[in-house]
């Protein structure tokens, strides 16, 4: 008959006393393996820790030779211990030496032991080590012993993560939990930032692992699960969520997982082993994450859904609402998040924030645009980084390559410090060219303007020497406000913007909110395709008071100065005509009440919806100027969501179809002598800017950080031969050469800085 062990409750209570005792790290580990062996009546208990070089080092043992501790190691995948580490699954054997993966290590003295049970020590689904018990010829261990050892492994995972454990690490090495990692993402905003991690949505920290009263913990768990299920049902009932939409599918997956009997059963079993409800959730979350990370496609949405569900349950149990609160930041903070809205980003202290890293999003997503506006380095699509890092970790963000180095080694840090010195010298070079005209070698003058939306980034006009602000996104004031900004507040903001730019021009775009640009005070329903939904001018026409208030604020802010207003998301000429009428009525009203009207008023049309391309001949005579919004125009032309990395990468914004569409606007603007500006993010990248200049756009508006590199390109270029080749390529139906490849070859022929 197999020997029965004393039980997990006795073991956990003894371990809790050991964790609380005043002991050194090694003495604490030695005591833990002794307790496990005694409790489970095993001859051996050994604890292996995964090092940053991929080796599993024996850190403590009961029953093997003591001199093997910190001497014996196995490569990942080597032996039974390596097999457990690689697969993150328990292994229970009655005759371990007969297993094909068995690796004999005579220096440990393990020859007499045939019964073997090993479990992975997991944190955030990552293997940190392996915990093993062995015995002489007692057959396989029981299932409840496996569960008990997995429960103990949860406690050991937390112990490994503490600073106390650092004392056991050999000089020149580290444990895998803290090893350097590199993430290949997508660059959203160029530059390099060195700093420390702050998690935007920090994980709930479980501090109490051992249950005092299992019955009470099961009651707490049951109540929390009911609360969780109710909250998901409430989301369905209080929101108008269309069946089949992405929102509906996400909530359905939440509901499916929350009602999954297997998931609930595993939680109950973990509590039965003596864990608190919170510790049980963490253990099951670790096990599930470990399995899913080792699937062929580890980044399926189900992984995020399960993580989110577990985090929601932890917040219910701990009473943590999970509501974002602005936190004190240290110097050189790098914000790391699964996803992040522009309003949330603006909550942080911009003087201390250097970069953002997110797991999702696209380079033209709103948070990426705001990050560039704030002068932050930004990288997105850094898969799984939130699970791999902790607040306080060292991090390097390379926005140019899209690479993120977490806990970088000294050599990598030194390389990037030198890169930052070189970048600083480049910035000095750009600053020296601040007052130089942006004129090509063959005399083509290009007007460079800023995209903006915050008062904080307007002073950059003096630093870059830009000619003015080609696009001021007025919606940012609304997105960061907890209530609708009053007309007085809007007027003050616009007046300050006009005061800051002085005699330079500034174009205010009317509100582009709704859809995926969420404002907290605007009640809206979930939409299947928010970018093509109730937003921008459509919303303004349905909420005329909102539009009229903004127009009145702009008119009053002008104080008799010239005013330029841009009307967004026009789908047909009648909409622009209607917007002009509303603006002109407000001008007449201001004059009627004795107010000071603008010295002059220019009303422009934003070209970002493809349908308007077929009414350009009717639009141009009505518009004082036009601006191309490349972010939405490219999105709609390609039917590719700009914030969805799976499809946004598939289409080149300067591919032949897109350039042909933009050239239609250039031709129409010239025919009607209407000023044209490119104010999308496209203008801020050198090769894209070259493409735009080649098709005849000579007014480019971009983030302040892009002015220097684009101006450097302009003054080095001879535009005529490039323009000739590109315009020919636009008409050529046989040449298979891609537009980007053509432009790069033309730029390289002139040694242009790209």
Residue 206 in domain: no
What is the structure's pLDDT at 705?
Answer: 82
Active site residue 389: no
Q: Do 220 and 194 fall within a single domain? A: no
Give me the catalytic one of 366, 405, 450, 663.
Answer: 366
DSSP class of residue 145 equals H
Whole-number Å distance between alpha carbons of 627 and 12? 67
pLDDT tens-digit profile of 95-110? 998 999 888 888 777 7
Q: Do 287 and 365 fall within a single domain? A: no
Whole-number Å distance between alpha carbons of 554 and 493? 9
Mean pLDDT across 392-408: 91
Q: Do 401 and 368 fall within a single domain? A: yes
Q: Do 486 and 449 fall within a single domain? A: yes
What is the structure's pLDDT at 108?
Answer: 78
What is the structure's pLDDT at 526?
Answer: 58
Task: Please state, rounded to an integer, the average pLDDT across all residues of the chain.
Answer: 84
Q: Do 397 and 282 fall within a single domain? A: no
Residue 3 in domain: no
331: closest CA among 350, 346, 344, 345? 350
Exposure of 63 in the CB half-sphere (CA atoms within 13 A): 23
602: closest CA among 569, 554, 550? 554
Q: For tokens 């005043």, what's the residue?
A: 22
What is the structure's pLDDT at 610?
Answer: 96
> Of 505-519, 536-550, 588-602, 617-631, which range is least confident?
505-519
Say what angle helices 214-238 and 261-272 make with each other, to 10 degrees: 150
> What's 281's domain CATH number?
1.10.274.10
Q: Do 162 and 27 fall within a single domain? A: yes
Q: Do 559 and 572 fall within a single domain? A: yes
pLDDT tens-digit profile of 161-201? 776 676 676 655 677 777 788 899 989 888 889 999 998 87
> What's 661's domain CATH number?
3.20.20.60
Whole-number Å distance between alpha carbons of 649 and 645? 6
Is the pLDDT at 134 greater than 50? The verdict is yes
What is the structure's pLDDT at 301?
Answer: 43
- Last residue of one domain, picked from the residues 391, 424, 457: 424
Reported as a pLDDT band with limits 50, 70 and 90, residue 324 is: very low
Reported as a pLDDT band with limits 50, 70 and 90, residue 249 is: low
> What's 145's domain CATH number?
3.30.450.40
Whole-number Å distance between alpha carbons of 399 and 378? 6
Residue 104, domain extent: 8-176
More confident residue, 20 or 395: 395
What is the structure's pLDDT at 736?
Answer: 63
Domain count, the chain: 4
Residue 1 in domain: no
291: closest CA among 250, 326, 262, 334? 262
Is the pLDDT at 205 greater than 90? The verdict is no
- What is the Rg, in whole angstroms, of the alpha carbon atoms belonging to the chain? 31
First to last CA, the chain: 75
* Selection from 118-122, 372-376, 680-684 with the highest mean pLDDT: 118-122
Active site residue 45: no
Q: Do 350 and 451 fall within a single domain? A: no
Q: Do 196 and 338 fall within a single domain? A: yes
Is the pLDDT at 123 greater than 90? The verdict is no
Is the pLDDT at 266 greater than 90? The verdict is no
Is the pLDDT at 638 greater than 60? The verdict is yes
Whole-number Å distance between alpha carbons of 685 and 703? 10
Q: Is 671 helix (H, G, I), strand (E, B) or coil?
A: helix
What is the structure's pLDDT at 304?
Answer: 58
Whole-number Å distance between alpha carbons of 519 and 516? 9
* Selection from 73-82, 471-480, 670-679 with the highest mean pLDDT: 670-679
Q: Do 645 and 743 fall within a single domain? A: yes
CA distances from 732 to 685, 695, 738 (A): 25, 14, 11
* Structure-block tokens of residue 566: 């841009």
Mean pLDDT across 63-69: 90
What is the structure's pLDDT at 732?
Answer: 82
Residue 207 in domain: no
> What's 364's domain CATH number?
3.50.30.10
Percent share of the chain, pLDDT over 70: 86
* Structure-block tokens of residue 143: 């299932």
* Selection from 499-513, 615-629, 675-689, 695-709 with the highest mean pLDDT: 615-629
């Amino acid at each position: 008959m197999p020997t029965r062990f004393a039980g997990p409750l006795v073991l956990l209570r003894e371990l809790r006393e050991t964790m609380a005792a005043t002991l050194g790290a090694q003495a604490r580990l030695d005591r833990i393996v002794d307790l496990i062996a005694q409790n489970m009546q095993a001859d051996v208990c050994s604890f292996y820790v995964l090092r940053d070089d991929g080796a599993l080092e024996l850190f403590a043992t009961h029953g093997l030779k003591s001199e093997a501790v910190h001497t014996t190691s196995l490569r990942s995948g080597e032996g039974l211990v390596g097999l457990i580490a690689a697969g993150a699954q328990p292994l229970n054997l009655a005759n371990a030496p007969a297993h094909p993966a068995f690796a004999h290590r005579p220096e440990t003295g393990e020859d007499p032991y045939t019964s073997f049970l090993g479990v992975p020590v997991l944190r955030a689904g990552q293997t940190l080590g392996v915990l093993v018990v062995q015995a002489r010829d007692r057959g396989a261990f029981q299932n409840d012993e496996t569960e008990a050892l997995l429960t103990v492994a949860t406690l050991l995972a937390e112990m490994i993560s503490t600073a106390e454990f650092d004392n056991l690490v050999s000089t020149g090495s580290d444990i895998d939990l803290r090893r350097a990692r590199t993430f290949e993402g997508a660059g959203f905003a160029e530059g390099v930032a060195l700093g420390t991690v702050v998690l935007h949505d920090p994980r709930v920290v479980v501090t109490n692992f051992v249950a005092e009263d299992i019955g009470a913990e099961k009651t707490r768990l049951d109540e929390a699960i009911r609360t969780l299920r109710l909250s998901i049902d409430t989301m369905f009932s209080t929101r108008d969520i269309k069946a089949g939409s992405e929102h509906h599918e996400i909530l359905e997956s939440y509901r499916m997982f929350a009602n999954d009997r297997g998931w609930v059963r595993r939680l109950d079993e973990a509590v039965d082993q003596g864990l608190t409800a919170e510790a049980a959730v963490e253990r099951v979350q670790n096990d599930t994450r470990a399995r899913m990370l080792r699937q062929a496609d580890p980044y399926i949405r189900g992984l995020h859904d399960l993580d989110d569900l577990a985090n929601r349950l932890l917040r219910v149990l701990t009473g943590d609402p999970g509501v974002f609160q602005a936190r004190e930041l240290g110097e050189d903070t790098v914000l790391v998040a699964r996803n992040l809205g522009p309003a949330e980003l603006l909550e942080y202290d911009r003087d201390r924030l250097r970069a953002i890293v997110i797991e999702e999003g696209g380079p033209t997503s709103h948070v990426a645009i705001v990050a560039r506006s704030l002068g932050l380095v930004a990288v997105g699509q850094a898969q799984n980084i939130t699970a791999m890092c902790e607040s306080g970790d060292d991090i390097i963000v390379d926005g140019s390559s899209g690479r993120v180095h977490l806990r970088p080694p000294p050599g990598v840090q030194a390389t990037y410090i030198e890169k930052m010195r070189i970048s600083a010298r480049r910035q000095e070079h750009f600053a020296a060219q601040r007052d130089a005209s942006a004129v090509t070698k063959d005399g083509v003058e290009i007007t460079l303007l800023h995209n903006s939306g915050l008062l904080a980034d307007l002073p950059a006009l003096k630093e870059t020497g830009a000619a003015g602000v080609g696009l001021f996104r007025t919606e940012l004031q609304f997105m960061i406000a907890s209530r609708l900004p009053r007309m007085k507040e809007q007027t003050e903001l616009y007046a300050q913007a006009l005061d800051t730019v002085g005699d330079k021009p500034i174009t205010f775009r009317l509100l582009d909110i709704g859809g995926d640009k969420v404002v907290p005070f605007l009640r809206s329903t979930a939409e299947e395709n928010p970018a093509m939904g109730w937003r921008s001018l459509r919303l303004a026409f349905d909420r005329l008071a909102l539009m009229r208030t903004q127009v009145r604020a702009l008119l009053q802010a002008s104080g008799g100065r010239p005013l330029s207003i841009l009307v967004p998301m026009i789908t047909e000429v009648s909409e622009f005509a209607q917007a002009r009428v509303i603006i002109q009525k407000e001008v007449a009203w201001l004059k009627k009440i004795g107010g000071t009207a603008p010295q002059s008023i220019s009303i422009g049309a934003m070209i970002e919806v493809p349908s308007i391309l077929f009414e350009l001949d009717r639009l141009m005579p009505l518009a004082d100027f036009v601006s191309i919004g490349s972010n939405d125009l490219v999105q709609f032309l390609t039917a590719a969501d700009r914030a969805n990395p799976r499809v946004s990468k598939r289409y080149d914004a300067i591919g032949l179809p897109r350039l042909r569409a933009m050239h239609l606007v250039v031709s129409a603007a010239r025919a009607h002598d209407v000023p044209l500006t490119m104010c999308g993010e496209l203008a801020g990248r050198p090769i894209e800017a070259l493409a735009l200049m080649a098709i005849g756009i000579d007014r480019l508006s971009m983030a302040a950080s892009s002015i220097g590199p684009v101006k450097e390109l302009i003054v080095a270029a001879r535009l005529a031969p490039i323009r000739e080749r590109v315009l020919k390529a636009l008409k050529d139906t046989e040449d298979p050469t891609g537009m980007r490849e053509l432009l790069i070859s033309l730029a390289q022929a002139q040694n242009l800085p790209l």
